[in-house]
Structure 1
């Protein structure tokens, strides 16, 4: 869902780098897969088509933190309905 975010902290040889990947549009989600020495974070559409992918070497990943989107409606999502008199 839009607003889902994943933070990946990677060891960069004596330094750490933080990458943030976010679902950019409504209906998209983030999928995380691990295997064969890689960690992949993929933004996927409702139909399952991958939009973009970030790949990291698993032995360099220090932390992977998922931040789900809030379920509360924002001011943009609240619609006021008025009746015609």
Structure 2
């Protein structure tokens, strides 16, 4: 659903980096796949066609936070640190 987004925090050699993948248009969603030590976060269309994909080594991921959208189009707080998004 438009507005869904996922935050990925990774360890980049002593420094943390944060990446975001967002469903940018109506009907799109964000899917997460974990295969062979690689985590893929993709924005996909209604038919399942990936629009953009981010890949991360699972061993480098410190946090992966999903922010689903409620029925009113606002991101639902999903825990600590999600205020203000």
Q: Under TM normalisation by the shorter chain, which class is it?
A: 0.7 to 0.9
Structure 2 segments unaligned to the other structure (5+ residues): 75-85
Q: 1:57 to 1:73 in 2, by over 3 A?
A: closer
- Taking the aligned partners of 1:6 and 1:73, their CA distance within structure 2 comes to 16
Residue 70 of structure 1: CA displacement?
2.4
Write the mapping of 1:14-33 to structure 2, written as runs, cut at 5 A. Answer: 14-33=14-33
Residue 48 of structure 1: CA displacement?
1.1
Write the mapping of 1:1-85 to structure 2, written as runs, cut at 5 A. Answer: 1-72=1-72
Cα root mean square deviation, aligned: 1.2
Q: 1:34 to 1:73 in 2, by over 3 A?
A: closer
Give the conservation status (yes or no) of the 8 Å contact 2:10–2:18. Answer: yes
Point out 4+ residue stretches in structure 1 off by more than 2 angstroms: none
TM-score with structure 1 length normalisation?
Answer: 0.83
Q: Which has the larger radius of gyration?
A: 1
Give the conservation status (yes or no) of the 8 Å contact 1:3–1:68. Answer: yes
Structure 1 segments unaligned to the other structure (5+ residues): 75-85
TM-score with structure 2 length normalisation?
Answer: 0.83
